[in-house]
Amino acid sequence: MNSIQYRKIQVEDCNIFYREAGKADKPAVLLLHGFPSSSHMFRELMPELADEFHLIAPDFPAFGQTQSPSREQFDYTFDHLARIIDKFTEAIGLSHYAMYVFDYGAPIGYRLALWHPERIDAIVSQNGNMYEEGLGKKWEARKAYWQNPTPDLRCQFASAYALETIIGQYTYGTPEGSVGPDGYSLDYYYVCLPERADMQDDLILDYRSNVALYPDFQKYLRTYQPPLLAVWGENDPSFIPAGAKAFLRDVPSAEIYFIPSGHFALESHHSDIARLMRDFLNRVLQ
């Protein structure tokens, strides 16, 4: 079954939307999206791998088609999102899996690895950072905000949801004409839904919790030595190539590849990434 199926499941007070492709008896791969995207970012990758793998891609609370409570009833933090995704994997019966982590999906996935190292068969990191040296220059302003989170600075970071900013995330550093408008147009639609911008503001502030956990994420790698493939859009201004190279410090067997693209490398190079993933996963999941 190479076609994608679209499903929902209730996890606590969240109605989680997810995409599923491939047969359940194949090796499982959990696909964790980034900001300000959703499982839609995997729409072209999943059919390319569904003949050999069982692929599951949820939308996080505050993203995509997942329905979640208001900020008064739900803490929009990375730890809470990871707890929901952890329970999602249990609800659909994933006892062990490889995971593809990107952007915001990385600190969510790395938390799952900390909590359940026995469940993680392999990691594919596509611009999914866990090293200080992997943070681009834009993070200097965010670090200043984390130290002094004033209402004025919170308002300034609302520019992250402007259409031109989202378009820039998709197109910066990519070959001209290689990125269609569908992904960034859909992302903009989602961030304009009621309360979504405020939820995202909460997550921008809470990203400091991810950086604080970098040493723990790195210790996990050193301790468990998971098979690791880093496929990095080399022109990404957010998570720069040094973050990919740093994996070798903790997992000397890590495989590192650079793609001539930007942050959303799947938009322009999904076939290249699928080929690298197929080769890697077929070797390490035997």
d(CA 187, CA 209): 24
14 token code pair: 């969240």
Residues found in the chain:
286
Residue type, 87: K
Categorise residue 207: left if φ over 0, alpha if ψ from -120 to 50, beta otherwise.
alpha
Is the CB of residue 63 less than 8 Å from the CB of residue 43?
Answer: no
Q: Are 121 and 277 spatial neighbours (Cβ–Cβ below 8 Å)?
A: no
Contact call for residues 98 and 124 (beta carbons, < 8 A) = yes
CA-CA distances (angstroms) from residue 163 to 85, 172, 173, 186, 190?
28, 14, 18, 10, 11
Helix axes of 78-91 and 196-212: crossing angle, nearest 10 degrees = 90
Name the H helices within the chain.
45-49, 78-91, 105-115, 138-147, 151-156, 163-171, 182-191, 196-212, 214-224, 241-245, 247-250, 266-284
Residues tagged active-site: 263
- How many Å apart are CA 203 and CA 205, to the nearest integer? 5
d(CA 71, CA 11): 17
Burial class (CB in 10 A: 0-12, 13-18, 19+), 155: exposed
